[in-house]
Amino acid sequence: MIQFLSVTKSYPAAEENIFAVEDVSFEIEEGEFVFLVGPSGSGKTTLIKMLIREIIPSEGKIFFNDEDITRFKRQQVYMHRRKIGVIFQDFKLIPELNAYENVAFAMEVAGRSEAEIKEHVPYLLDIVGLSNRMHFFPRQLSGGEKQRVAIARAISNNPDLLIADEPTGNLDPESAWDIVQILSKINNWGTTVLMSTHGFDIVNSLHKRVIKMQDGKMVRDVMKGTYEELDDFSLKVMTKASEKTSEVKDETETEIEEKPKENKKKTIKTTLKRKSKKVEVEEDEDADATEEDEALVEEIDEEETEINEEDNKKEKKEDKAEEDEIEEVESADTEDQDVEEQEEEVEEKKETKKKKVTKKEKEIEEEEDKDIEAKILEKIDSDEPIELDEDSKNTKKLLDKAKKTKISKLDLSRKELGALKEGRYETVADLIEAGVDEIKKVKSLTKTNIKNISKEIENFASNS
């Protein structure tokens, strides 16, 4: 979808040119969620500005959907920008318009009909959890809420790509976490997301791809962040998020979780099921902490860069091999699929009926299950000691073991393994954390596959 080829952006200066971005190359596939990280001044915004054709590279090429955007004429630039939604650190809302009107205005400008706007805006504000703030003006909203309006506005015209340039830069850890969750959700529904951030390595906790910039150069491109890479600030964010879990459950988050499934073009694992309670916040509340943490993050990052570059190369090689394997497996399997798909449809219809009846019951059950599961998972992540009853102790033991067990240890077919890996499931714990409903969303998995996978998870659990 996006290709940067040896892109350089330099600005003339008195002594020698300033290289805001220097010889950067990377690709982003449709449907990816990519974090663009790096300290202030490392070139993140410059990259983004080039991508939305606000500025043109001094050297190199940028392709968007296979078109060289560096050569676009004015009209093409307008068309190009329509395909991209952007949000910024300072929200850029229109102060005279309320939340509803801010979103509606963007749709009007894009030529959408009144009827469409009336129907769509409440839906968008619902997605970002602001149904009850529809008629509030920006000055009546907290930082996090303003950013939610900005997100609703950015996705109002169904962009292919959502760019967020330091969207959490002005927010406290809780609101930052909420924003990242919403972006992740939007990404799950098929929109490619590129989010820049300096220092907020919540990134790694989401196991998304991380491109790291330093002094205008790309110094790291990690396909999946890991817990080990968590920096201090992220830990703080995570801890805040898990503290919230034991408090009141956030209705907003639940609503978001249950948005219409037909919108989903693509599914990615929801790594951690955290519920964080939305809070009203004063802006800049923790500016001090952020500065301090940044310094720390930068220090650690510098040390890590060298090691990571090595790792990176290795990881890329491995990923490539893995991809090749998945491709091979997929092409071999397409024939069976048609028949199976038809059967599935019938079955699915039956199930929907059944589901309606049992939905209420299930909801209650799930709430309870989730509470326990989430609590345990979060405590494990935060490395805090936790008082557990006998049942929970067993669950914890199981999850510990599951975390160490690769899915290849289960008795699954090559195709099943391939599909799961593509859905970014690595360990049995990933599968357990996601749950069958989430796993079902992995493309190319048939009902039979799902049954087999569920059975294997059950076997694993009962043998542990």
Longest Cα pair distance anywhere in the chain, in angstroms?
A: 74
Taking CA atoms, 190 is separated from 155, 186, 256, 377, in Å, by 12, 7, 15, 27
Rounded distance between C-alpha atoms, residue 443 and residue 419, angstroms: 7
Which of 34, 45, 88, 144 forms a contact with ligand ADP (CB under 6 A)? 45
- The partner residues of 214 in beta bridges, in order of sequence, read 217
Contact 154, 85 (CB under 8 A): yes
Contact 169, 196 (CB under 8 A): no
Q: Closest CB to Mg ion among 45 and 449?
A: 45
CB of 149 to Mg ion, least distance (A): 21
CA 161 to chain centre: 13
Rounded distance between C-alpha atoms, residue 87 and residue 94, angstroms: 13
Contact 39, 199 (CB under 8 A): yes
Contact 185, 256 (CB under 8 A): yes
Indicate whether 38 belongs to the interface with ligand ADP (CB under 6 A).
Answer: yes
Indicate whether 212 belongs to the interface with ligand ADP (CB under 6 A).
Answer: no
Rounded distance between C-alpha atoms, residue 357 and residue 323, angstroms: 41
Per CB under 5 A, the segment of 40-48, 172-180, 232-240, 327-335 that binds Mg ion is 40-48
Rounded distance between C-alpha atoms, residue 64 and residue 4, angstroms: 9
Indicate whether 17 belongs to the interface with ligand ADP (CB under 6 A).
Answer: no
CB of 52 to ligand ADP, least distance (A): 13
CB of 90 to ligand ADP, least distance (A): 13
Indicate whether 431 belongs to the interface with ligand ADP (CB under 6 A).
Answer: no
CB of 46 to ligand ADP, least distance (A): 3
Rounded distance between C-alpha atoms, residue 358 and residue 75, angstroms: 53
Rounded distance between C-alpha atoms, residue 164 and residue 208, angstroms: 15
Question: Residues 258 to 297: which contact Mg ion by CB under 5 A?
Answer: none
Helix (H, G, I), strand (E, B) or coil at 369: helix
The amino acid occupying position 453 is I
Indicate whether 220 belongs to the interface with ligand ADP (CB under 6 A).
Answer: no
Rounded distance between C-alpha atoms, residue 109 and residue 105, angstroms: 6
The amino acid occupying position 73 is K
Pairing of strands 161-165, 84-88: parallel
Residue 191 binding: pick among Mg ion, ligand ADP, none (C-beta 5-8 Å cut-off by kind): none
Tokens of 404: 């160490």
Rounded distance between C-alpha atoms, residue 374 and residue 218, angstroms: 36
Per CB under 6 A, the segment of 33-41, 120-128, 186-194, 259-267 that binds ligand ADP is 33-41
CB of 365 to ligand ADP, least distance (A): 47
CB of 163 to Mg ion, least distance (A): 12
Per CB under 6 A, the segment of 40-48, 127-135, 177-185, 341-349 that binds ligand ADP is 40-48
Rounded distance between C-alpha atoms, residue 125 and residue 154, angstroms: 11
Residue 184 binding: pick among Mg ion, ligand ADP, none (C-beta 5-8 Å cut-off by kind): none
Indicate whether 274 belongs to the interface with ligand ADP (CB under 6 A).
Answer: no
CB of 217 to ligand ADP, least distance (A): 11
Rounded distance between C-alpha atoms, residue 278 and residue 244, angstroms: 9
| Element (DSSP H or E) covering residue 252 | helix 251-257
Tell me the site size for ligand ADP, rule CB under 6 A.
Answer: 11
Indicate whether 20 belongs to the interface with ligand ADP (CB under 6 A).
Answer: yes
Rounded distance between C-alpha atoms, residue 216 and residue 197, angstroms: 15
Which of 22, 31, 44, 250 forms a contact with ligand ADP (CB under 6 A)? 44
Q: Closest CB to Mg ion among 36 and 183?
A: 36
Indicate whether 122 belongs to the interface with ligand ADP (CB under 6 A).
Answer: no
Per CB under 6 A, the segment of 34-42, 167-175, 321-329, 384-392 that binds ligand ADP is 34-42
Q: Closest CB to Mg ion among 44 and 133?
A: 44
Indicate whether 18 belongs to the interface with ligand ADP (CB under 6 A).
Answer: yes
Question: How open is the CA angle 91-87-45, to the nearest 5 degrees?
Answer: 105
Residue 20 binding: pick among Mg ion, ligand ADP, none (C-beta 5-8 Å cut-off by kind): ligand ADP
Q: Closest CB to Mg ion among 45 and 276?
A: 45
Rounded distance between C-alpha atoms, residue 454 and residue 431, angstroms: 9
Q: Closest CB to ligand ADP among 168 and 446?
A: 168
Taking CA atoms, 158 is separated from 115, 219, 245, 446, in Å, by 17, 32, 32, 29
Q: Closest CB to ligand ADP among 46 and 147?
A: 46
Which of 6, 40, 263, 459 forms a contact with ligand ADP (CB under 6 A)? 40
Indicate whether 45 belongs to the interface with Mg ion (CB under 5 A).
Answer: yes
Q: Closest CB to Mg ion among 201 and 438?
A: 201
Indicate whether 11 belongs to the interface with ligand ADP (CB under 6 A).
Answer: yes
Per CB under 5 A, the segment of 20-28, 37-45, 90-98, 184-192 that binds Mg ion is 37-45
Question: Residues 46 to 65: which contact ligand ADP by CB under 6 A?
Answer: 46
Q: Contact positions toward ligand ADP, by CB under 6 A?
A: 11, 18, 20, 38, 40-46
Q: Contact positions toward Mg ion, by CB under 5 A?
A: 44-45
